[in-house]
Amino acid sequence: MQKSLIVFGATSFVGQILCRYLHALNHDGSLKWLMAARSEERLKALQKSLDGPHTPDFLIVDANDETSLRVLCDQASVIISTVGPYALYGEPLVKVCAETGTDYCDLTGETQWIRRMIERHEEAAKKSGARIVHCCGFDSIPSDLGVLYTQQQSQQQFGEPCQHIKMRVRKFKGGFSGGTVASMMNVAKEAAADPALRRELQDPYSICPPDRKPTVRQNRITAVREEEIESWIAPFVMEGINTRVVHRSHALLGHPWGMDFLYDEAVMTGDDSKGKARARRTARGQSLMMLGFALAPTRWLMSHFLPKPGEGPSPEMQRTGFFDLVFVGHTRSGETVRTNLYGERDPGYGATARMLGQAAICLSQDIDRSEVAGGFWTPASAMGSRLIERLQQHAGLRFSTVLETKTPPRRGL
């Protein structure tokens, strides 16, 4: 029996966008895929909305029913999970995939949950051959593959890797969904009740293999003017997950960029007095937001004004959204490489659905198990250049390079 790519959580906000993307992509019927969720009524409505030939079938599955999850895995070449917050609903499927040898992708940004899944289920995945790849959406494919691409350009041009790479968000247009808000609130709630988790969330190497953790101190971003890019910068809200995924990729690849490799992220706010004010407001706003999520009274109050699960950006915002990132890398010998990554569609939803779909297709069709064995991987360590090619061909991402030579700024700036 030919197995299928299965979208689990197909009726969620991102799940529906992903299903419409896969349906449009499958114009010739060559992709065998199914939808799965717990509501038959909502699945039928989604199926009806997918006009044209090759409309996918669906399966009714509950995220907490391990028996039905095993039936799901029996039919799957790879499962894409959009069922979050993953810390609340995600473990049963990861457990069953790891035990049955079923490949798996998701779009989680919950590092504390990723670490727990690795600790609890990686041995089973290695034994069964299941390739588990978290973070296959906007967090953290652009950061993970952008760093890999930048290092490849540095090696090709200069014969050495970058010792320090900065990712800067040049422009960004998109919106929040209720699922993202729920995940952020849950992380803050867990951290507020657990001092050990608060310390873990400050560790840039928290999801690296325990025996492969570097010790070099990573840079901490504040609201400052960065001479090199001629702009004020502020902390980037996704930095907490993206930097950890990049460092896990580096560890899984065998630390090819050196044990003292530095990576940081920030958002550019402009080079004038307004940019300076925006940088300071952004830094303060993020701190206040996380404090609000952590405190029960303000968390309850904010939940009444922020999007609910199942809500998110309008179709027009999804279509017109985009992201524009620049990566600046410095080698030890003083060379500089700059790469750009532009993505079409709303970053967290329109673009994420495309990235997630192509990651799953790449894992199941392009990456042989003799190349990548069972275990918990990252997009860069599992799929690397082949996923970069797919994203450029089918997902509206464009990687490009501008090279220059200059003396790098002092480390830590």
Whose CA is closest to 399, among 314, 337, 326?
Answer: 326
Question: Residues 49-60: pLDDT tens digits?
Answer: 998 889 999 999
pLDDT at 2: 81
pLDDT at 201: 84
Contacts of 268 (CB under 8 A, 6+ apart): 168, 169, 170, 229, 231, 232, 233, 275
Domain ranges of the chain: 4-137+351-387, 141-347+394-405
pLDDT at 184: 72
- The topology under which CATH files domain 4-137+351-387 is Rossmann fold (3.40.50)
> What residue has token string 């003292």?
260
pLDDT at 364: 96
pLDDT at 412: 45
Q: Say if pTM beats, i.e. exceeds, 0.75.
A: yes
Crossing angle of helices 273-294 and 296-303, in 10° steps, is 110
> ω before 231 within 30° of 0 (cis)?
no
Question: Residues 354-406: pLDDT tens digits?
Answer: 999 999 999 999 999 999 999 999 999 999 999 999 999 999 999 999 865 45
Whose CA is closest to 313, among 180, 186, 182?
Answer: 180
Whose CA is closest to 96, among 71, 114, 113?
Answer: 71
DSSP track, 146-161: HHHHHHHHHHHHHSS-
Structure tokens at 24: 């449009």
Q: What residue ranges in 2-126 does DSSP mark as E strands?
A: 4-8, 33-37, 58-60, 76-81, 103-106
pLDDT at 246: 98
pLDDT at 307: 65
Q: What is the pLDDT along the chain (413 residues), one digit of tens a residue?
A: 689 999 999 999 999 999 999 999 999 999 999 999 999 999 999 999 998 889 999 999 999 999 999 999 999 999 999 998 899 999 999 999 999 999 999 999 999 999 999 999 999 999 999 999 999 999 999 999 999 999 999 999 999 999 999 999 999 898 766 666 777 777 777 877 888 878 888 899 999 999 989 989 999 999 999 999 999 999 998 999 999 999 999 999 999 999 999 999 999 999 999 999 999 999 998 777 666 666 677 766 666 666 666 667 788 888 899 999 999 999 999 999 999 999 999 998 899 999 999 999 999 999 999 999 999 999 999 999 999 999 999 999 999 998 654 544 544 43
Helix boundaries (H) for 333-412: 352-365, 379-382, 384-394
* Dihedral sign for Cα atoms in the order 18, 23, 25, 26: positive
pLDDT at 286: 79
